[in-house]
Amino acid sequence: MARAFWWVGKEQGELRPELPGDGAFLIRARYGALSRGTERLVATGAVPPSEWERMACPAMGGGFPFPVKYGYCVVGEVERGPAGWEGRTVFTLHPHQECFAVGHADALTPVPDGVPPERAVLLANLETALNAAWDAPLMPGMRVLVLGAGVLGCLFARIARQTPGVEIVLVDHDPRRRMLADVLDVPFAEVPVAGCDLVVEATGRPEALEPAISACGREATLLVLSWYGEHTAPVALGGAFHSQRLRLVSSQVGAVAPAMRARVDYAERRHRAARLLADPALDALIGPPLPFDELPAQALTRLLDPDDGRAPLVVYPGSQ
């Protein structure tokens, strides 16, 4: 018997007993992370009914709105599995649970040698950022603006910073986020700059779309990484939107970007994203440890904390 974290009502969580289930692999969770974007919407009951089916994650329990067992960032150790797998540190998409079974090796991504398991909790967000770079597409020599210095925005900005010739600026209205930008070696500003080739909206705030459009240069692309849940985004598509011939693109990790889909499946995309975990600067995006036992009392506080944009690190018993 193990324990799993459930949202049992709006802004109310609890630990429930859970059987690990059946599968060829038995995983003992060591570290996890809370998603400030998606899991905040889940916790507050803001997932619209039209998206309940599409929002379901692997091994999710219950259903929307509540009670629901939801989450998708777990790094653990293979306690039981086929030859060559036992003892390996792996990442998998699974809700917050101490011990659980996985049926197939394709659902597991080995953490590369030399990568701390704590950093590997960023893999789901890193995969989203990589897919977004393919969706844009991000190309050498571009002038890029990223709005929102949360985890996802910072990861996209870091990928852009490492692309040859890219001129990148990371924008956030909170000047305290400059510290993250400095560690990631990304120029920081509190207001958008204009005339960009690619603008990435990653604030999670619908009202950010208007300044994002204003920052686009002629025939530029606005890539929307935020998901607003049940909230709507009032956007004026008159004015310069048509005369400037702007391109509005959505990106979502549920499908591999069309430019790569013929050659890359989900498992391969995650393996490619895992190679990006070798970057030590990414440690700046991991927040203070949050013991698994304290999730019912602290998870919502961490998700809503406006002073810390980093990913809350869930630490399971026996991992420290």
pLDDT per position as a tens digit, 115-125:
999 999 999 99
Pick the CATH number of 2-123+276-315 from 3.40.1190.20, 3.40.50.970, 3.90.180.10, 3.40.710.10: 3.90.180.10
Q: In the prediction, which pLDDT does 220 show?
A: 98
Tens of pLDDT along 41-52? 999 999 999 999
pLDDT at 320 over 70: no
Fold: same for 2-123+276-315 and 137-250: no
Percent of the chain at pLDDT > 90 equals 87
40-97 pLDDT tens trace = 999 999 999 999 998 999 999 999 999 999 999 999 999 999 999 999 999 999 999 9
Domain formed by 137-250, architecture: 3-Layer(aba) Sandwich (3.40)
pLDDT in the model for residue 232: 83
Question: Above pLDDT 70, what percent of the chain?
Answer: 100
Mean pLDDT, rounded, for 181-204: 96
- Cα separation, 196 vs 189, in Å, equals 14
pTM: 0.95
Q: Are 302 and 290 in contact (CB under 8 A)?
A: yes
pLDDT of residue 319: 85
**What's the pLDDT at 235?**
83
pLDDT for residue 189 is more than 90: yes
CB atoms within 10 A of CB 112: 14
Domain residue ranges of the chain, discontinuous segments joined by +: 2-123+276-315, 137-250
**pLDDT attached to residue 8:** 97
Give the dihedral of Cα atoms 79, 81, 84, 85; nearest 10 deg: -50
Span 199-235, pLDDT tens digits: 999 999 999 999 999 999 999 999 999 988 888 887 8
Where is average pLDDT lowest: 143-147, 167-171, 251-255? Answer: 251-255
pLDDT digits (tens, 9 = 90+) for 237-265: 877 888 899 999 999 999 999 999 999 99
Phi, psi of 222 (to 5 degrees): -105, 115
CA distance 159 to 178: 17
Residue 155's nearest CA partner among 177, 123, 114 is: 123
